[in-house]
Structure 1
Amino acid sequence: MDAGLNDAVTDGSPAPVAPTIASIDEGRRLIDDLDVQLRGLVAVRRDISRQIQTHRTTDGGPRVQHSRENEIIAAWADELGPRGVEIALAILTLCRGSLT
């Protein structure tokens, strides 16, 4: 499956381990870099999600598939606990767009 995504993102490898930082400034630079990457990944996820929604509605299905969203929420909860649920819900809301 080559949809133009970096293999490191899609190959199922475990999440990277955080490096040990030597200073607050170094840590902040790393966090800023991660935030840039996260925003970019969420934007790509949003675009793919909207394409899926278009395909689904073109095929006569609903725009949102709640069973799939529940799987996504469960995966975030398994990885990050209750706060993972909050993140998953925020991402799903952002990526599905307005339901009205």
Structure 2
Amino acid sequence: MEPQTEAFTELDIHLSIGQARTDIDDLDLGIIRLLRMRRAVSQRIQRTRLRADGPQIDPGREDDIARVYRSHFGDSGDDVAAAVLRACRS
């Protein structure tokens, strides 16, 4: 009877992992949707700044954004912020 219990447990684990991966896929789609929205707003700001003969980016603002991500993700927050900022530039 032991092998059946192990097989059942392995099946439960497999199904659990499968559901968790589906959850991650759904979350990733939500993140992508939000990043597209963020990019649209960021590009609007960049166009406005360029029309006013200003710089496309504001390093001080980007530092503030990185600080927020760092406060939520620790040291890896810098990498997350850099990826988000890079994805949202024109």
Range into which the TM-score falls when normalised by the shorter chain: 0.7 to 0.9
Equivalence map 1:18-97=2 (5 Å): 23-97=16-90
Letter in 2 for 1:72: I
- Pick the structure with greater CA Rg: 2
Letter in 2 for 1:23: S
The one of the two structures with greater contact order (alpha-carbon pairs below 8 A, sep at least 6) is 2
Question: C-alpha deviations, 1:7-43, integer Å up to 9, x for none?
Answer: xxxxxxxxxxxxxxx8112111110100000011111
Letter in 1 for 2:41: I
Count residues in correspondence.
Answer: 76
CA distance in structure 2 between the aligned counterparts of 1:33 and 1:94, rounded to whole angstroms: 20
Hey, which bits of structure 1, 4+ residues long, moved more than 4 A?
none
What's the % identity of the aligned pairs? 36
Question: C-alpha deviations, 1:75-100, integer Å up to 9, x for none?
Answer: 00011011111010011111113xxx
Deviation at 1:59, TM superposition (A): 2.1
CA distance in structure 2 between the aligned counterparts of 1:23 and 1:64, rounded to whole angstroms: 44
Give the TM-score normalised by the residue count of structure 1.
Answer: 0.71
Deviation at 1:49, TM superposition (A): 0.5
Question: C-alpha deviations, 1:40-88, integer Å up to 9, x for none?
Answer: 1111111110000011111232110000000000000011011111010
Q: Which runs of 5+ in 1 are unaligned?
A: 1-21
Q: Which runs of 5+ in 2 are unaligned?
A: 1-14
CA distance in structure 2 between the aligned counterparts of 1:82 and 1:47, rounded to whole angstroms: 27
